[in-house]
Amino acid sequence: MTSTRTTAGLLAGLLTVTLWASLPVLRDLINLPPMLTAAVAMGAAALMAQLMGWRGAPAGAAAWRRRKFWLMGVGGLTGALYFYFSALSKGDPAKITLVTYLWPLGFMLVADLLAGRGLRARTLLGSAVAFAGLVPLVLSNAQGEPTSALGYMQGMASGASWIMFSLYLRGRAALSWVDYKHLFAVAAVASWGLHRAFETAPEHATAMDWGVAALIGIGPYGLAFITWGYALLRSSSTLLGVLTYFVPVMSSVLLILVGRAAFSLPLVIAFVGVLGSAVITQMKRRPQGAVSS
């Protein structure tokens, strides 16, 4: 039974990774400011959660009354959206995605500390390998779209927000559709507020812009959040951390195929470093049938 639950969690994690990998390509199809895109996406995600759970009992409706819902749930989700979408507008999306998806390393480090396991040597070694692999990519702008230092910083800030949001999901019992509806709706309002405060309204938005933004909410930033929460409760955080390393690999390949990123040696080195880090950190534990704590 436990093995079945773990397998289901890994399959949910695989679906999450696939949906997340499509995000940079979808974002490149539209011409909307970052937080307006996030507001539309989260609004569509809230509508999806409402339709999917309209018959369900509102057992989790009280989640919004808790402080962690606002600080870690809404704050983490909104921060991940804001910083990632903003970073994508400041450089090569393949590079930004690679830097952002260093967050699984941080997630595993924090999860180990919270579980009382301390800082493990293999986790630290894996982190060093990943950063070493990214150095040539970050320092080289000879190929592909130039990327600013601010873009890299925002990518890292997005990753930190992802860690906070994932710790919130992992620290709770399974969220209901009502919980997700509230979470997405509040994130939509927060994103809209940030758009009104700091961005200029688009002058020539098309039906495709609005439609793809809504699609992002239904897939990469809607269903993917729900399957990620499901996976976090049913599978090893280490295994899921390894799985998420494939997001920048898959998304960068997609970006290269559609002509939005350039194939280069630094990109290959970064792939090897990130995947090598995944192998090293995964080797730190023997395979388990039980869900890690």
pLDDT, mean of residues 86-109: 82
pLDDT(3) > 50: yes
Give whichever of 120-124, 208-212, 223-227 has the largest mean pLDDT. Answer: 208-212
3-class state of residue 73 by DSSP: helix
pLDDT in tens, 155-206: 999 999 999 998 888 776 567 778 888 889 999 999 999 999 989 989 889 9
Predicted pLDDT at 138: 67
The more confidently predicted of residues 88 and 44 is: 44
The whole-number average pLDDT for the span 273-283 is: 78
Per-residue confidence at 140, pLDDT binned at 50, 70, 90?
Answer: low
Going by C-alpha positions, the residue among 22, 126, 83, 107 that lies closest to residue 134 is 126
**Axis-axis angle for helices 103-114, 237-244 (nearest 10):** 170
* Residue 78, SS3 per DSSP: helix
| Predicted model pTM | 0.78
Question: How far apart are alpha carbons 137 and 127 in whole angstroms?
Answer: 16
| Residue 142, pLDDT above cutoff 70 | no
